[in-house]
Amino acid sequence: MKAAPFDYSRPSSVKAAIATLESADGDGKVIAGGQSLVPVLAMRLGRPSILVDINRIPGLDSIDKVAGDTIRVGALVRHADLLEQKHIPLLSEAAKWIGHSAIRTRGTTGGSIAHADPSAELPVVATALGATIGVEGPAGKRIVSADDLFVGPLETSLAESEIVTSVSYPVPERWGFAEFSRRHGDFGLVTVSVAVVGGLVRIAIGGVGAVPIRPLEAESILNGSPVTDARIAEAARAAAGDINVVSDLHASAEYRVAMTEQFTLRALTQAIGNRMVGAN
Ligand SMILES: Cc1cc2nc3c(=O)[nH]c(=O)nc-3n(C[C@H](O)[C@H](O)[C@H](O)COP(=O)(O)OP(=O)(O)OC[C@H]3O[C@@H](n4cnc5c(N)ncnc54)[C@H](O)[C@@H]3O)c2cc1C
């Protein structure tokens, strides 16, 4: 199948891109890396009247250290560049698991965050780190926390004609990442990311719900108490108990629950095994 006809625009500023989206009255779509949008168009699951190509907008493709210990990643930073950066090794590890090298060369941070696939790596890591998303739209600029951005599968709280311009991540004191996929390059059946930020453990789990899940009970088992192997195991069990999955073509619900416990255990052990949280 081929995409339905559409107009094409390549603005040179965020403001011009927003104006073009506004004039399409909700019927326009941003295109960045095209790695998720083009298949959608080709299968005619979407028929936007105009594509707004943001690839030539300057200033959206850098990775910068900003105030405090925060790294701002521009919306047009490719997964391949995220893999290479040294500021936050957790981002590098997560990027390694995204598709294959051709996809990582084109796919962008802003595209992955805005597409909001519940199995995608970057939304999970953004949630674990407590990232904030820089957004610009007809009403101006705003900052949204990752916890508030993802509202459903392929659904965000972005308003019409809003564009993701950057994602800012705190540098974590410690981190862990564990993913299970059947073949290299597949979306994860279960993806777990752990980050210790400001002495507190945050956990996010992808592939087991409509959005990346934060198992708050598991976090509270670990925060404020000395971390022991027994507590880590208890937290992993609590995380698995916090998810509500149904069986699908890829895995039964029981399998995903078991994998959630196992991979949460791995990510937690990598991040905080044999350590006292906050004692770094
Ligand atoms: C075979 C294959 C395997 C893949 N495997 C994985 C995987 O394992 N893990 C994974 O995470 N991803 C995977 N992907 C998806 C890939 O990572 C995409 O690059 C990513 O999901 C979307 O980024 P993009 O820049 O390509 O966005 P696009 O495809 O250009 O856009 C995706 C959506 O986001 C919107 N959008 C894009 N940029 C912005 C922005 N700045 N502001 C607002 N809206 C925006 C678009 O309008 C569209 O709705 C795979 C893709 C393919 C084809």
Write the DSSP string, 229-241: HHHHHHHHHHHHH
What average pLDDT score do residues 8-23 get?
98
CA gap 143, 227 in Å, rounded = 33
Same domain? 163 vs 186: no
**AA letter at 241:** G
Report whether residue 73 contacts ligand 1, using a CB cutoff of 6 Å.
Answer: no
CATH number (domain holding residue 104)? 3.30.465.10
Report whether residue 193 contacts ligand 1, using a CB cutoff of 6 Å.
Answer: no
Could you tell me if 153 and 248 are in contact, meaning their C-beta atoms sit under 8 angstroms apart? no
What average pLDDT score do residues 23-31 get?
95
**Domains identified in the chain, total number:** 3
CATH number (domain holding residue 235)? 3.30.390.50
Distance 196 CA to ligand 1 centre (A): 27
Q: What is the mean pLDDT of the chain?
A: 95
Tell me the residue length of the chain. Answer: 280
What average pLDDT score do residues 105-125 get?
97
Residue 84 φ/ψ, nearest 5 degrees: -80, -25
Per-residue pLDDT of 84-93, as tens digits, reads 999 999 999 9
76 Cα nearest atom in ligand 1:
41
Distance 272 CA to ligand 1 centre (A): 31
Distance 166 CA to ligand 1 centre (A): 15
Same domain? 147 vs 229: no
Query: Pick from 167, 26, 44: which is nearest to 108 by CA?
Result: 167
Distance 243 CA to ligand 1 centre (A): 25
* Alpha-carbon torsion, ordered 105, 129, 142, 154, to 10 deg: 60
Same domain? 162 vs 183: no
Answer yes or no: is pLDDT of 227 > 70. Answer: yes
> What residues make up the domain containing 129?
63-170
Per-residue pLDDT of 129-169, as tens digits, reads 999 999 999 999 999 999 999 999 999 999 999 999 999 99
What average pLDDT score do residues 30-43 get?
97
User: From atom 28 of ligand 1, which residue's Cα is the shortest distance away?
Assistant: 34
Per-residue pLDDT of 228-278, as tens digits, reads 999 999 999 999 999 989 888 888 999 999 999 999 999 999 999 865 454
Could you tell me if 127 and 204 are in contact, meaning their C-beta atoms sit under 8 angstroms apart? yes
> Kind of pairing, strands 7-9 and 50-53?
parallel
Query: For the whole model, what pTM was predicted?
Result: 0.96
Answer yes or no: is pLDDT of 279 > 60. Answer: no
Which of 137, 152, 170 is where one domain is finished?
A: 170
User: From atom 48 of ligand 1, which residue's Cα is the shortest distance away?
Assistant: 37
Question: Is the model more confident about 108 or about 274?
Answer: 108
Q: For position 274, what pLDDT does the model report?
A: 61
Report whether residue 134 contacts ligand 1, using a CB cutoff of 6 Å.
Answer: no
Q: For position 278, what pLDDT does the model report?
A: 46
